[in-house]
Amino acid sequence: MARDRYAGLSFEQAVAKYSKNVLTACLIRLQNTPDAEDCTQNTFIKLYKKSPDFNDEEHLKAWLLRVAINECRHCLRDNKHLVSLDSVKEYPLPESDDTRDISWALMRLPPNYREVLYLYYIERYKVDEIAAILDSKSGTVKSLLKRGRDKLRELYGGDKK
């Protein structure tokens, strides 16, 4: 059964501290609040049941994000035959005139670019750390970052370098 401490935090403290990060990562990947909430819950259930050892809180956070991303992949794989009404229509522009909001742009990118850009710019992970979280190679992460930036530049109407 579960231990009392996760990198010095109780289970409740770990949930309180990292649930927003995990939910945001799931929302970026899935673009669907109910599924993102399910994947977030499954992530913390795995933390409770598996009760792994962590070196520090950063190790705990990286583990949670890795599990959350894998949960999202499972969700997408298991539900690939379903079609959401939201996916049929184009995402609407923000109600304000400010189309410079990064979340608006990220949601228009393919999932692999969204994940990498989110982990790099929002969670502030380095390329090697992202590669470990996504179980990928550093070169792949660098490539996805570059292509993702290019796609963001296109969305914002900017020139390519």
- Position 149 pLDDT exceeds 70: yes
14 vs 116: CA distance, rounded Å: 23
The domain in which residue 53 lies consists of: 1-89
Task: Write out pLDDT tens, residues 56-109.
Answer: 999 999 999 999 999 999 998 887 655 454 443 444 434 444 444 667 778 888
Q: What is the pLDDT of residue 88?
A: 39
45 vs 122: CA distance, rounded Å: 25
CA atoms within 13 A of residue 105's CA, in its CB half-sphere? 19
19 vs 25: CA distance, rounded Å: 10
**75 & 107 share domain:** no
CA atoms within 13 A of residue 96's CA, in its CB half-sphere? 5
- Find the CATH number of the domain harbouring 11: 1.10.1740.10
**48 & 9 share domain:** yes
Average pLDDT over residues 2-27: 88
Task: Write out pLDDT tens, residues 125-134.
Answer: 999 999 999 8
**121 & 152 share domain:** yes
Give the count of domains, the chain: 2
Contact 106, 114 (CB under 8 A): yes
